[in-house]
Structure 1
């Protein structure tokens, strides 16, 4: 069985979508392939997101990830938008959902941790949906 390709998409691909890619790889790599992208890129992943992901999950996003454009990733089966509060980027796919996450950029560590925990829970829910064949293959 081929693993589904899941793309976590946001405008800048520097914070929430990067956190989701990292957690997808850590928590569901055996079930789906994770990537993230945006319609624009930033030179670096959000430093606070990098620090919080290292603290909470021992993931060093700076070593394994970089900001990418939508055209740089494989064609996804599932697209998850983060909640851009603007026009979220469009990618053709079999299934799409929006996680409606507020951008923690410029906010406290507690906001980053809250965002990370929500993403963790949603990754596990997505993994379960895929394992129970709710998306097809």
Structure 2
């Protein structure tokens, strides 16, 4: 692993869980971690309930665009965190993988997304500890 590790968050639509996780990691790690987010079947926009839930904690993910991962990103990533993309998620030997089982926020309102957001924050803080990166907040 490099001095500045790269973490790639993957989910199916790259519109909820992976975007919230990337928002948390960017906020808590600053420029000490390179943060990527992608999906196996990206949709057109980030889930509005995820955007609203993150905005409540001062993190703006409204400008993010769902997208598919690239082979170049996969080959240069230190940690891949999968979130429900199952067999669609790529596998690169030698790369550290974590599978976070989280409820999909698709189709849910903000009230139902808040607990998912909070669980993602808890897990991102644990990931930072594993990476020996002190959170900024």
Place the TM-score, normalised by the shorter chain, in its bin. 0.7 to 0.9
Work out the CA distance in 1 between the residues paired with 2:44 and 2:114.
Answer: 23
Secondary structure class of the residue paired with 2:51: helix
Which consecutive residues of structure 2, in runs of 5 or more, have no partner in the other structure?
A: none
Query: Within the alignment, does 1:46 sit opposite 2:47 as a pair?
Result: yes
Retained in 2: the 8 A contact 1:10–1:88?
Answer: no
TM-score by length of 2: 0.84
Q: Which residue of the partner structure matches residue 128 of structure 1?
A: 129
Q: Which residue of the partner structure matches residue 61 of structure 1?
A: 61
Superposition misfits of 4+ residues, deviation over 4 angstroms: none
Q: Which residue of the partner structure matches residue 135 of structure 1?
A: none
Retained in 1: the 8 A contact 2:49–2:109?
Answer: no
TM-score by length of 1: 0.84
Which consecutive residues of structure 1, in runs of 5 or more, have no partner in the other structure?
A: 133-137
Aligned pairs for 1:88-127 (under 5 A) are: 88-92=88-92, 94-127=95-128
Q: How many residues end up aligned between the 2 structures? A: 129
Retained in 1: the 8 A contact 2:49–2:108?
Answer: no
